[in-house]
Amino acid sequence: MNLNQITLPVTDLDRAVAFYRDMGFTLIVYSPPRYARFECPQGDATFSLHTVDTPVAATGVVVYFECTDLDDRVRRLQATGIGFTQLPTDQRWLWREARLVDPSGNVLCLYLAGANRRHPPWRVVA
């Protein structure tokens, strides 16, 4: 099994599409007013947006996008007007993370973990 696609609820498809394009994702499907899909700049994962009628409730779900150029990317995104709720910060779990919220309220984390994503020092040995 391989996780390679997620769908995020959005309240305004065009506003969300513009946001994710500004973030650097490639729009590959656009079917207004309900659906759009993007490719990530690296790897083969995709994600989609699906229009919902009510605002996104706080679910505790966070969508993570790894960036090898995290600090520079955050600076570039800030220069385009994208705001962050947390600037790049070293975490005790050995990741560096920045957080933001998309126009519909979905929580996103841009992070750099490198080998620690799959092989942290505390990894369980089978």
* Contact present, 93 and 109 (Cβ < 8 Å): no
HSE-CB at 31 with a 13 A cutoff on CA atoms is: 10
Q: Taking the model in full, what pTM does it have?
A: 0.93
What's the mean pLDDT in 94-109? Answer: 96
46 CB burial (10 A radius; 0-12, 13-18, 19+): middle
Q: Domain range holding 97? A: 5-117
Please give the span between the terminal C-alpha atoms of the chain, in angstroms, as a whole number: 18
Is 33 part of a structural domain of the chain?
A: yes
- What CATH number is associated with residue 60? 3.10.180.10
Instruction: Fill in the DSSP letter of residue 77.
Output: H
Interval 28-85: pLDDT, tens: 999 999 999 999 999 999 999 999 998 777 888 999 999 999 999 999 999 999 999 9
Considering its fold, how many domains does the chain have in total? 1
Within a domain: residue 126? no
Residue 68 located in a structural domain: yes
In a domain, 124, yes or no: no
* For range 2-26, the mean pLDDT: 96
**For residue 72, is it within any domain?**
yes
Tally of residues, the chain = 126
